[in-house]
Amino acid sequence: MPVLLILGLIAFFVLSWWWHRSRSLTRDCKWREDRSRAAPGRSFHHCVACRAETDLPIGEQPRHCLRQQ
């Protein structure tokens, strides 16, 4: 019985972490990739809603809102 409780708690925390990670952008974030401004081997993204900008490795996309509050 304690083993099931421990496994249940572990599953709860893993699923909570995964759910938060996949849904951390706000509804207002609208990221667009700008390949003309990207450095070699990088991808440049800007948000049309809050005008935040970020430079990431190729193949990655922004997952968090970078809005200055």
Mean pLDDT per 10-residue interval, the chain, length 69 residues: 90 85 67 91 90 90 75
DSSP state of 7: H
Residues 6+ apart with CB under 8 A from 26: 65, 67
pTM of the predicted structure, to 2 decimals: 0.57
The predicted pLDDT at position 55 comes to 92
Q: What is the pLDDT of residue 33?
A: 92
Q: What is the mean pLDDT of the chain?
A: 84
Residues 46 and 30 sit within 8 Å (Cβ to Cβ): no
Distance in angstroms (rounded) separating the CA atoms of residues 32 and 52: 11
Q: What is the pLDDT of residue 25?
A: 58
